[in-house]
Amino acid sequence: MKVLRGFKERPARGTAVAIGNFDGLHLGHQRILRYLVETAREKGLISLVLTFSPHPERVLEGGRIAMIQTLRQRLEAIKALGVRVVLVASFDRDFAGLSSAEFVDRIIVSYLRAKEVVVGQNFRFGRGRQGDVDDLRQFGQERHFVVTGIPAVIRAGRVVSSSLIRLLLEEGSLARANSLLGHPYEIEGRIIRGSGRGQTLGFPTANLRTANEILPAGVFITEAALGGRVYPSITNSGRRPTFGGGRLEVETHILGLQGPLYRRHIAVRFLRKLRDERRYPDASRLVRQVQRDIASVRAYFEKKGMIAGRLPSDRVI
């Protein structure tokens, strides 16, 4: 997949374009991009995703919306669906100031050379969000491109959206968030040197420095993707109250993997919440609880046929 940053290089020929933030690449996004890829294939067009960084809400509303994915994760998820080209547009005040007609003429028609445009039904565009899908269709009729509005995905009576998933993750509803994402919530980063307390207690951990902005609190059954393989793991995300608390940290005990891991890249996928983080009266009580937690992790993966340190062929990445 080719990644373009900014409006410097035009596509070589006609495109089928999907436009959106696609943060989390949830079930609704997946529906849009699968339609995009299939339409491009059928019509001999280049499948292209136009996405934005930073998130428009950070520019327009001045807030710091918590992103579900890093940009790297977003691009990898889009690539996995078979998209040929992603254009990452820098969203700033100038971009936000384009009228709906300017956005269509300058971006969709002139630069992207779009023949097909695929968006969600709630898509808005242009200065002040003045344009909607019906307006885009009208522009398409006048400027010779076809617009398809993809219906939202509904689960339990609610529209699947990035904002809903952010809320679920922040309030600790991991199972529901994962069901709307269509994949486990994942964070990534580099392994850094920690305090060494896990090693002392008999459970060495990989401490993670991550750019991910949503860190679910608690103790979780996780998968750790490292060096081309996926390992069963248990992850604590919190402030370690038994040892006096402090700053928020993420540490993962990887089953079946030993040796120094510092500075290596790791991705941690949150599969199931085991419990909330809690304070224990002494280290020995904590050790007994962690032993029970690890037994739960082993049972979970044994049930799925994934044994620590050894993986079915489809678990090699």
Residue-wise pLDDT tens digits, 213-229: 999 999 999 999 998 99
Statement: residue 311 has pLDDT above 60:
no
Catalogue all structural domains in the chain, each as residue range(s) with its CATH number: 2-158 (3.40.50.620), 184-315 (2.40.30.30)
The pLDDT mean for the chain works out to 90
309 has a pLDDT exceeding 60: no
Question: Tokens 């992603």 sit at which residue?
Answer: 86
Pairwise CA distance, residues 251 & 237, whole Å: 7
The average pLDDT across 183-211 equals 82
Whole-number pLDDT of residue 316? 44
pLDDT over 50 (residue 53): yes
Select from 250, 238, 265 the least CA-distant residue to 72.
265
Q: How confident is the model at residue 41 (pLDDT cuts 50, 70, 90)?
A: very high
Backbone phi, psi, residue 307, to 5°: -100, 140
Residue 277: predicted pLDDT: 82
Percent of the chain with pLDDT over 90: 72
Question: Quick one: which of 296, 177, 196 has its CA closest to 240?
Answer: 196
pLDDT (average), residues 151-166: 97
Q: Which residues of 258-285 are buried (b: 16+ CB within 10 A; e: fewer)?
A: eeebeeeebbbbbbebbeeeeeeeeeee
| Stretch among 13-27, 33-47, 55-69, 91-105 having the lowest mean pLDDT | 55-69
Does the pLDDT at position 313 exceed 70?
A: no
Give the Cα separation of 114 and 83 in Å (integer). Answer: 15
Please tell me which residue, 232 or 260, carries the higher pLDDT value.
232
- What predicted TM-score, i.e. pTM, was given to this entire model? 0.89
Mean pLDDT of the 155-170 span? 96
Q: State the Cα–Cα distance between residues 85 and 83, nearest whole angstrom.
A: 6
The band of 143, judged by pLDDT with boundaries at 50, 70 and 90, is very high
